[in-house]
Amino acid sequence: MQCSVFNYWRISGSILIYLFTQKISVAQIVPDVTLPNNSSVQSNCTNCEITGGTTVDNNLFHSFEQFSIPTGGTAYFINVSTIENIISRVTGKSISNIDGLIRTNGAANLFLLNPNGIIFGRNASLDINGSFIASTASSLKFADGTEFSITDTHTKPLLTLSVPIGLQFGDSVGGIINQSRATPDGALNSVGLPVGLKVKLGQTLALVGSNVELKGGNLTAEGGRIELGSVAGNNLVSLTQTNQGWELGYEGVQTFQDISLSQTASVDASGDRSGDIQIQGRRVILTGGSQLVSLSLTQGQAGDVRMRASDSVELLGVGSFADGGFFPTGVFAEVYEEATGEGATLTIEAERLIVQGGAIVSTTTWGTGRGVDLKVSASESVELVGTSPDGAFPSGLFAQVEEGALGNGGTLTIETERLLVQDGSQISAATFGAGRAGNIRVSASQSVELVGTAPDEIIPSGLFTQVEQGATGNGGDLTIETGRLIARYGAQISSAARSGGQGGTITINASDSIFLTGTAPKADLVIGSSGIFVSAEQGATREAGELNITTGQLTVENGAKISADNFGTGEGGSATLNVNQLVVRDGGVIRAGSFSEGSGGTLTVNAAESVEIIGSGMIGSEPVKSTLFTQAEAAGNAGNLTITTRNLIVRDGAEVTVSGRSSGDAGNLTVEANSISLDNQATLSADTKAGQGNINLNSVALVLYRGSNITTNAEGSDITGGNININADVLAALENSDISANSADFRGGNVTVTAQGIFGTQFREQLTPESDITATGANSSLNGQVTINTPDVDPSQGLTELPVEPVNVEVAQGCQVGGNQSSVAFFNTGRGGLAPNPYEPISSSNIWEDVPLPTQEIANSASSARASTSPNIIVEAKGWIVNEKGEVILVAEMPTNLSQNRCSLR
């Protein structure tokens, strides 16, 4: 940001260098002789009356060689009351240095054109009933095509009765500086500063040149219109007559120059009906407490404020009071107590918006009228950084409904590629009154990044919608659409209700990811965590807002949090997370809790791929487990926790819990997952001192390792332990991992397990060093019931019963010795169906597979057989014979030449 400040001063210097390379005239007014009827001024006058000039219908034309007014001097244009436009030009080579009063008769508008440049000194002032347009354009164009030119004065101009329609800039364009802090008749503007250059009620005050600078100078147009435009050469700025004087258009401008306000400069269009402000340049820079102000004081529609920059709009730092303290650089559009009209729009359009060092953009309603909408469109980035030196003013964008206001707040909209909110800066919509707070809508196509805290290391950077103490209006909604959202080092997104109004809803859609990490340096278990929060705070009587998150991967780590909490008497807000992957690790926490009479909201997680809750971390000096939970700490009931995912993984001491630690019921924990894995002292639990606290698990595979637990625990003389219901194809609990439904003081809960297979665990009356399933009550007569449902399979079903006695084998007849014999072969085709080793379970990849011999192998075998001898055909033995050696030989046919020793089987 130092680079931006340096560039600003370099730009300021360039204005002064350009102006003072021009000839600076002695303060005097010298007419030229270029008109049909030339202007007339007394020579060397201090209080000068300007007469003559050429009148065409309602237009009066003046032309000067020089036009400057000394300190305390006056330039008084004498005109008849029918004149509508006084059009004056400076054809010489000197700038106009004006440090006195410009005055006209009647209601005429005054145009002052000097392409060399114009400086309004500290004492410059206006007494003009019409509009005042000062420009360094080289000509003024009219509706009938004629032109009042400064560069072409050799021929008499063809003057016209048409209305002006445009300011044409030539090759060389001078700058404009305003230093006026005049206070005619002691007049101050709406923020207590000198009015400076001021036009009458409802008129236009315009400064249009190359580089335009308000160096401590002020512009005031009560209920009118103020225009600041900075353009390069050879461009046309259009003029359109309106009820407030003139509106300038920049549609045909290709190249802009810079505009700067410094040293508590002010642009003020406040009034009973606030006026409009339009600023158009390349870089628009406000520093040192400089302000744009449009306040609507009574009836009527509030005015529009529009800042447009082809490069950047930069609001930097604060101003200092003489007796100490600071006030912000900023842009303010407000609807006051007695105002009844609707708010208009404050618009900022640029490639980049930079707000830092305590600078502010703010819309506020104090009365019955609706607040002003705030719209920021920055094609590249919006960067909000830091606070004022004393920490009193966070840099940022704000929309507020003040105490006693009935009107609703305006909407705050940001459209950009990248949004950065850093070092205590904020975006906030709040209500202190009966009116509803405005909504915040952020669309950042690439990223939203929230970083750190204010210098006190406590106040967070972030986005906030709030119902403040004493307010009865509802909070506004906060919507974020982005690719990536990052909040770190204590930065937050929050919706809080602290009084009678309902909290606003937070909706976040991040197409890629959301990453929440870390804490503020002075964080503890209560404050300082990075995260996303919806809450009804102490004193709130209405519902908290809802939280809806949709993203690819959501990561909450290192003490960061997502919470929906209720400290009030109304209903708690619910949190719904729709993600592909959810990772909570190293002390990250996601919770929905009730801490008072109001009930807690529900917490719902829908993760298409996985939910991982891992390990623990530190917040300050306190250890914190990674946790996903709902809780009731007081009389209010806790909400339910529901997880739907493909894979749920909880490990390394992390927890998924529902609890009721006082008179409020605990919620129920329900998990629908293809697989649930608990490893290394991981826990699924439901604890209650009042009631409920049940666990329902539905999974294909549920596995517990290394001292992990699924438990329900109840305390209280008549509090039954919560129930555990498990439906799984496979349940495995290994290495002292337990499933238990307990009650310390009353009846234990029930455990119901329905599974195809159960491994490593079994029902026991009490916990042991093994893996157990228990339902323990205050004593053995109060134990709960454990029901284990496994498939009812008869292993003998479908088999043929074998006879008890073996069959007697009798010799039927003698067997013939000899005959053909054949050979037998064994083929090994693989281990189909077997595990790699006897200690591994059979998996789906080990099913039986019939593996035939490869075709080539069969062919080779057949070929080899043909090359040798054909195998003998194997035939059934029909009998036996005993040869001469006494050996028994099985034979297929009995020899016909043997009558002895023949036998057969039967």
Residue 764: Cβ within 10 Å count: 16
Residue 405 · residue 436 · CB < 8 Å: no
Q: What pLDDT score does 896 carry?
A: 56
Residue 533 · residue 504 · CB < 8 Å: no
Q: Say how far apart CA 748 and CA 746 lie, in whole Å.
A: 7
Residue 6 CA: distances (Å) to CA of 1, 3, 279: 9, 5, 22
Q: What pLDDT score does 850 carry?
A: 47
Q: Report pLDDT digits (tens) over 740-774.
A: 998 878 888 899 999 999 999 999 988 899 999 99
Residue 344: Cβ within 10 Å count: 24
Q: Say how far apart CA 49 and CA 304 lie, in whole Å.
A: 37
Q: Report pLDDT digits (tens) over 543-590.
A: 778 999 999 999 999 999 999 988 877 777 789 999 999 999 999 999
Three-class SS of 129-187: CCCEEEECCCEEEECCCCEEECCCCCCCCCCCCCCEEEEECCCCCCCEEECCCCCHHHC
Residue 836 CA: distances (Å) to CA of 759, 832, 845, 846: 20, 10, 11, 9
Q: Is pLDDT of 703 > 50?
A: yes
Q: Is pLDDT of 823 > 90?
A: no
Q: Say how far apart CA 253 and CA 308 lie, in whole Å.
A: 13
Q: Say how far apart CA 859 and CA 721 lie, in whole Å.
A: 71
Name the phi and psi angles at 472, rounded to 5: -115, -10
pTM of structure? 0.83
Residue 64 · residue 90 · CB < 8 Å: yes
Q: Report pLDDT digits (tens) over 248-304.
A: 999 989 999 999 999 999 999 998 888 899 999 999 999 999 999 998 877 767 789
Q: Is pLDDT of 647 > 80?
A: yes
Q: Is pLDDT of 540 > 80?
A: no
Burial 181-205 (b: 16+ CB within 10 A, else e): bbbeeeeebbeebbbbbbbbebbbb
Q: What pLDDT score does 819 carry?
A: 47
Residue 78, token pair as written in the block: 């004498």
Q: What pLDDT score does 406 carry?
A: 83
Mean pLDDT to the nearest integer, 797-826: 53
Query: Which domains, from first to last, does the chain contain?
Result: 1-209 (2.160.20), 656-789 (no CATH), 809-824+855-906 (no CATH)
**Three-class SS state of 576:** strand
* Confidence label for 847 from pLDDT (cuts 50, 70 and 90): very low
Q: Is pLDDT of 316 > 80?
A: yes
Residue 59, token pair as written in the block: 């237009």
* Confidence label for 38 from pLDDT (cuts 50, 70 and 90): very high
Picking from 31, 167, 24, 169, the residue whose alpha carbon sits closest to that of residue 99 is: 24
* Confidence label for 514 from pLDDT (cuts 50, 70 and 90): very high
Q: Report pLDDT digits (tens) over 217-259.
A: 999 999 999 999 999 999 999 999 998 899 999 998 999 999 9
**Mean of the per-residue pLDDT values for the chain?**
85
Q: 685 forms bridges with which residues in the sheet?
A: 657, 711
Name the phi and psi angles at 135, rounded to 5: -150, 155
* Confidence label for 40 from pLDDT (cuts 50, 70 and 90): very high
Of all residues in the chain, the percent with pLDDT exceeding 90 is 59
Mean pLDDT to the nearest integer, 84-107: 95
What single string gives the DSSP state of each residue in 46-79? SEEEEEE-EEETTEEEEEEEEE-B-TT-EEEE--
Q: What pLDDT score does 805 carry?
A: 60
Q: Which helix (H) or strand (E) holds 741?
A: strand 738-743
Give the torsion sign (CA, 870, 876, 878, 879): positive
Q: What pLDDT score does 234 carry?
A: 95
Q: What pLDDT score does 281 carry?
A: 98
Residue 358 · residue 386 · CB < 8 Å: yes
* Confidence label for 458 from pLDDT (cuts 50, 70 and 90): confident
Residue 199 · residue 131 · CB < 8 Å: yes
Picking from 460, 467, 596, 447, the residue whose alpha carbon sits closest to that of residue 518 is: 460
Q: What pLDDT score does 815 carry?
A: 47
Q: What pLDDT score does 15 carry?
A: 33
Query: Could you tell me how many residues make up the chain?
Result: 906
Picking from 394, 521, 410, 510, the residue whose alpha carbon sits closest to that of residue 461 is: 394
Mean pLDDT to the nearest integer, 162-171: 91
* Confidence label for 808 from pLDDT (cuts 50, 70 and 90): low
* Confidence label for 714 from pLDDT (cuts 50, 70 and 90): confident
Q: What pLDDT score does 181 carry?
A: 97
Q: Say how far apart CA 101 and CA 121 lie, in whole Å.
A: 11
Picking from 260, 225, 345, the residue whose alpha carbon sits closest to that of residue 11 is: 260
Picking from 479, 568, 563, 556, the residue whose alpha carbon sits closest to that of residue 519 is: 556
Q: What pLDDT score does 300 carry?
A: 64
Q: Is pLDDT of 810 > 70?
A: no
Residue 702, token pair as written in the block: 């549920």
Q: Say how far apart CA 887 and CA 853 lie, in whole Å.
A: 38
Q: What pLDDT score does 122 carry?
A: 97
Q: In what order do the strands lie in the sheet with 888-891?
A: 888-891, 879-882, 903-904
Q: Say how far apart CA 92 and CA 631 lie, in whole Å.
A: 81
Q: Is pLDDT of 24 > 60?
A: no
Give 9 or 477, the one with higher predicted confidence.
477
Q: Report pLDDT digits (tens) over 494-506.
A: 998 887 777 889 9
* Confidence label for 349 from pLDDT (cuts 50, 70 and 90): very high
Residue 763 · residue 754 · CB < 8 Å: no
